[in-house]
Structure 1
């Protein structure tokens, strides 16, 4: 292996250039990194549902559930299928194996839809569906509630829909959905006794409604100069038009409103409602696209909501229900605070144990390694979240080891009378390979997490690359940058014993350590047996 310390000291200007570039790039990358509370992961489950009003549970199982399940068994990468069947309804859970790569999950759900559509023609008439839900991984971090004193659900919904369209234009917004909507329907309630007296079948009314509201092409009239399109009028424009619809009853023409109750109201049973401080509300849920900065998104949403609120009618208000950006800001602040505390503790120990100048060399290596790690994280698309920040804290206690070893070895050689250049180069020859081996072994300890399958490993996927990057960069810094720092900063005197011989190991600590080491080497068997005994006792 070529002596990288020698290369560094012979090309000081180039090394200083890369130090400055790495520092600037790290600061830029840190500000550009995406920020979120938890890392993204893919849920490998899809829900397929269908309804058949009036069917028993057994009919539902035999005619709907079994047919869908049999077809879904052809899904590639399938782990298992679970179903819940009750009268008039079936719910099927399709779960994929952990071996299915997250890039292929969306395509697999398309295949599931195609398989169900193939069997749809075999289902009995009157079956609604199947319907699909595979969007479990959408996280709505910011939720707002639209309330209005004296306003109806429909008026609040219209304002919420207008707000939804405006929020979609905010950068980094992936999806905006309304919560608590109450759909309106037109209900026609007929008195069977009255229909029997008039001799009218309910089917006659249903057919008349369908024909009246049917979209029918009217044709086209060709003239010498233009083509005139003919459109059939008579479609229902409002509830009153439905009441006025003529119905033929035994030769008599009656209005539908005379023989049935026609009114427009919210669907029954009601859809799940949303309340804010006890008042009916329409919710607006906002999710962020992958790799976005949720802190910046939170600021952009606040600015946009402020503009929308100014243009809203008096009485309508928008309230924030869930504010994940503030939670993430607090979470990241706590982790960064922990990281800073860890750095301060490491530096304090370094200064106290190594001395001011040697500790200063170690202190200069830590920010440089972190800056380089941020650059790599930005390049490969790793965001700041619990796992990546936790990985940095784990790596922090390890990344200073290489720099301490290299600088301490350089200091010892300087105390023995070597020149700065020779002392630094000797430190590389003596310690570079053992340090690299130790670094690689530590990185290998996290390989199982990196190559495991499933949601848990996907959640922790940033653990291995962040730790490996930090440790490998720490080795490079310790053999190229730390000696350069030490070349300028370390000032030591050549230590000699009473007889004038050079001996750097004269301090009280070294004297005490030599005695302990001599005792252990003299009584090797006792030490080995005691070590084995302590190990088995710990088990």
Structure 2
């Protein structure tokens, strides 16, 4: 009995002297190093899960834009011949432009050109910046009646939050003042990109000239216009030099209220008689006739769109927005309400929570299935490899700059059932070798060594089946789906390393 117990021990201790150990057996022998590396990678994955950038959808490149020309008074044929043709010839000189998908519409007084870039263009902003500069030079070669020639490619921004400022009693001017208070709080957030507001109604001051009064004073309308034009401007009035510094002086505009405008002198005779604007005109302040307006639940509303800078965690961004809005709400009166009509941070947070729920169900389902067919210890080991592989995958995705969004989450859910296969195959072979009388040590490294190449080949085949998505889907669709095969490949690779280097121990 003593010899039978000592023989395996001697064999195990002398094994490294008789042959060169492979990577799998080295990982078993120096298990502390393997465990430390695994724990560090899992810690990186846990940190990434909490802090990596999160979006609802992946970022993709917008390769479409518009070139608009304004040619007042020209017929559609004149616009086509004198402007559209020249712009097309200039535009098609750029190799980035996809000529097959670029087309134009010429109509009376206006040209609209729909421009699409080639799929290989990765930085469209550089192209559009270069094009805008070129269009400014091209405009000088077009007929002088062409008023504008502009390019617009600002179509890719999405709102992280849509907020309404609503009141039944307040005027639009008052709502605009409260909206600016909310904006001031939101601008303090580091991740804020753009703040856009919609539904603002601009005030205007109307001067209704009364012809019969002009006739009574024998004043011509041009006299009134000249007086208002000169007094309503801000003019440079020279410098003030005190010997130490020179300061420019500006004369401020005199009109601050309707009363100032009403008291404007429009005529003075040699006898000192003054005629003011209020003597010949009626002055009225009112809102312009709106082209559009916004109402929320039947009340006057202004809409605020909040955009987030790329590369931020939208859930954490939403928490910062909540704090800023709480401060802003304290500064608003009770009859002014703030309401969220679109809340992307909440949507993404719900998606992440739903994934974690599905992830937990998947882990439990795998453990239950393996427990029905394998011993408890084997099923427990197989189940543990799932969170280990997923956390390592998240850590690698974070270091590669891939965000957590709908596509990457879908890839992780798809691969959940696959990451456990490698471990189950190796564990099953390990049990078979134990049944044939192998020692636990030899059964462990031999099972992993013998099956590593077949498991690697199967893993590579599965990953390769998804990679055609990156090559056959081009343009916006290709950008959108790009992270899907990458995530699957990383997850399967992580499960292969866990099964080959960690499971045998």
Task: Tell me if structure 1 keeps the 8 A contact 2:185–2:325.
Answer: no
- SS of the residue 1:23 aligns to: helix
Match of 2:175 among 145, 152, 156: 156
Which residue is equivalent to 2:503? 482
Aligned residue among 332, 336, 345 for 1:316: 336
* Cα contact 1:199–1:249 (8 A) shared by 2: no
CA distance in 1, matches of 2:357, 2:493: 24
Match of 2:442 among 422, 436, 461: 422
Alpha-carbon spacing, 1:30–1:222, altered in 2? closer, same or farther (3 Å): closer
Contact 2:235 2:252 in 1 (8 A): no
**Other-structure match for 2:6:** none
Mapped pair 1:32 → 2:55? no
The answer as to 2:376 corresponding to 1:356 is yes
- CA distance, structure 2, for counterparts of residue 405 and residue 223 of structure 1: 89
Is the Cα contact below 8 Å between 1:402 and 1:478 reproduced in 2? yes
Residue 483 of structure 1: SS of its match in structure 2? Answer: coil
Structure 1: how far apart are the matches of 2:240 and 2:307?
51
> Does residue 11 of the first structure (1) align with residue 11 of the second (2)?
no
Question: 1:283-362 residue pairs with structure 2 within 5 A?
Answer: 283-362=303-382
1:117-128 to 2 correspondence within 5 Å? 117-122=136-141
* 1:469 and 2:490 correspond: yes
| Residue 172 of structure 1 pairs with residue 191 of structure 2 | yes
Counterpart mapping for 1:224-239 below 5 A = 231-232=250-251, 235-239=254-258
Worse overlay, 63-72 or 321-330: 63-72
The alpha carbon displacement at 1:6 in A equals 0.8
Per the TM alignment, residue 331 of structure 1 is displaced from its structure 2 partner at its CA by 2.3
Q: 2:415 maps to which residue?
A: 395
- Change in Cα spacing, 1:214 to 1:130, as seen in structure 2 (3 Å) is farther
SS in 2 for 1:283: strand
**Mean Cα displacement is larger for which, 120-129 or 219-228?**
219-228
Shift in Å, 1:171: 3.5
1:272–1:92: structure 2 CA closer, same or farther, 3 Å change rule? farther
The one of 362, 368, 373 equivalent to 2:388 is: 368
Distance 1:227 1:96, change over 3 A: closer
- Counterpart residue number, 1:20: 39
Q: Are the equivalent residues in 2 in contact too, given 1:98–1:453 (CA < 8 A)? A: yes
**Counterparts in 2 of 1:194 and 1:53: CA distance versus 1, 3 Å:** farther
For residues 359-384 of structure 1, what are the alpha-carbon distances to aligned partners after superposition, in whole Å with 9 as ceiling and x for unaligned?
12211211111111011112112222
Q: Which segments of 5 or more consecutive residues in structure 1 lack a partner in the other structure?
A: 485-539
Q: Secondary structure at the match of 1:469?
A: helix
Aligned Cα root-mean-square deviation (Å): 3.4
Please give the alpha-carbon distance, in whole angstroms, between the structure 2 residues aligned to 1:432 and 1:218: 85
Quote how far apart the aligned CAs of 1:94 are. Answer: 2.2
Matched residue count: 481
Whole-Å separation in 2 of the counterparts to 1:184 and 1:407: 77
**Contact kept? 2:262, 2:277, Cα under 8 Å:** yes
Counterparts of 1:116 and 1:441 in 2: how far apart (Å)?
51
Gaps of 5+ in 2: 1-19
With normalisation by structure 2, the TM-score equals 0.84
Label 1:180 to 1:227 Cα distance change in 2 as closer, same or farther (>3 A). closer
User: Does the 8 A contact of 1:60 with 1:85 survive in 2?
Assistant: yes
